[in-house]
Structure formats: C-alpha cells, structure tokens
Amino acid sequence: MRPLTDTTPKPLLSVKGLPLLSAHLNAFQLAGYTDVVINTAWLEDKITDHYGPTLTPRAPLYQPVQIHYSREGKDFGHALETAGGIVRALPLLDNAFWAIAGDIYIPGFIFSYQVLEQFATTPHLAHLFLVPNPAHNPGGDFGLDDNGHALDLPLTDSRPRFTYSSIGLFKKTLFHPPFCSIEPGNPVGSKASLAPILRKAMDLKLVSAEMLKSPWTDVGTPERLAELNSI
C-alpha cells in the first residue's frame, strides 16, 4: 500500500471517509459486543491515539466498547503475523472469539452473537468465511466439502479452492499443542502464520467453513482503495 502507508497504518485508510478499522469497530458495537482487542505494529501510535481506550456509543441504545491493545511494535519491534499475534493476545480473549484483518472492506457483515455462541458449542476449533478467488489469489486457499468442512486440498486435487476472507471464528484450543507450539501469550514474540495451524486441524475435520454472502474486498493496493472510493 505504499506510499499511502508511509504515513498512515493500513487499518486507518478510509473508504467513503470512514477508516477500515472504524467500520469493523462500529459493526462490533452494533452487534452488542463490549470488548475488542486490536493488534498493532506499524505506526501503532496512530491507531492507539485515534481510538484511545473506549469506543463511545454511537446512539443511546449502544454500549461503549472497551478497546484492549496488543502492541506488537512496542513490545517486539515488528508484527507477529496472524497466528503469532493471536497467541500474543490469548490472555485477553474469551474461549471462542471472532478474528478479522484490519485491511478488508466488508460492508453489511454482521458479527452475530448467536453465530459465535453456536460455534462455541460445536467440536470445531475454527470456522472460516471463504470468498471466490480474487484476481490477486487465483489459486485460492482451501476447499469446502458438502458437510461444511474446510479442506486442505493437494495441488493434484481438481476440486475447487476458495480464498480465506480473513474473517473467522476461533477457539483458544486451536492455539495450543498439538496445533500450535507457541507458549500462550507469546512472550518472546514468535512470528507465526495461521495457515499451517489450520491445516493441522483440517486434517482432523476440526475446521468448518462457509461462503461469505456479503461484499468483500481485500484492500491490498492503492488501486483497490481508489476503486472502492470511486463507486
């Protein structure tokens, strides 16, 4: 996203005047959540200064949202990648939780409490929202069977693969052995990607998935951001 991100962290880039991260926070507040965790690294002071400790109510019926920060930049000098960042934040999280990237645009997506509570009662350790493959990821990431299980398909498998939207439901158990070897709280700041952990759980049929029904854009280039703002 350079040169835009030379001075602005990606989650604070705006679509129609609203920062990407603000859209996520507003959606969580609308759904009734009262606590969120934000992982920060690049230009993180701009994020913490922008939001502070509390997202104030947008209307009388809404509750304030307490914002907890996992400051990877301050603590380690670099981002910990998706799994490393989640493990770092585990002490701040409930046993089942939503996780979403700060650089995607998903107007209309609802972070349903009911969906979270239903997921918590299942044997699955993760539930992924998949999208048709965008131009920048034509090969996709994971398959999806008729029973709603995400699949780690070998390259020789002809079944369709889809792209992980960076929206998912997870349980803390996924980030413990045998799936993840990083110590809870990630005290040494180990970097770790999410995909290898998910693949281990997929082999045991412990990852469910569904196709995302709402609009979705991975805002990964200035051109994609400009396109969203031109619509």
Is the pLDDT score of 155 beyond 90? no
Tell me if 191 is assigned to some domain.
Answer: yes
Tell me if 3 is assigned to some domain.
Answer: no
Tell me if 2 is assigned to some domain.
Answer: no
For the chain, the domain total comes to: 1
DSSP letter, residue 12: G
Tell me if 1 is assigned to some domain.
Answer: no
What's residue 122's pLDDT?
97
Nearest to 46 by CA among 84, 102, 111: 102
pLDDT digits 0-9 by tens, 31-84: 989 999 999 999 999 999 999 998 886 666 678 899 999 999 999 999 999 999
Q: What angle in degrees, to the nearest 10, is found between the helix axes of 44-51 and 20-31?
A: 40
What's residue 60's pLDDT?
62
Q: What CATH number is given to the structural domain containing 205?
A: 3.90.550.10
Tell me if 148 is assigned to some domain.
Answer: yes
The alpha-carbon radius of gyration of the chain (Å, integer) is 17
- Residues found in the chain: 231
Mean pLDDT of the chain: 93
Which range of residues forms the domain containing residue 132? 8-230
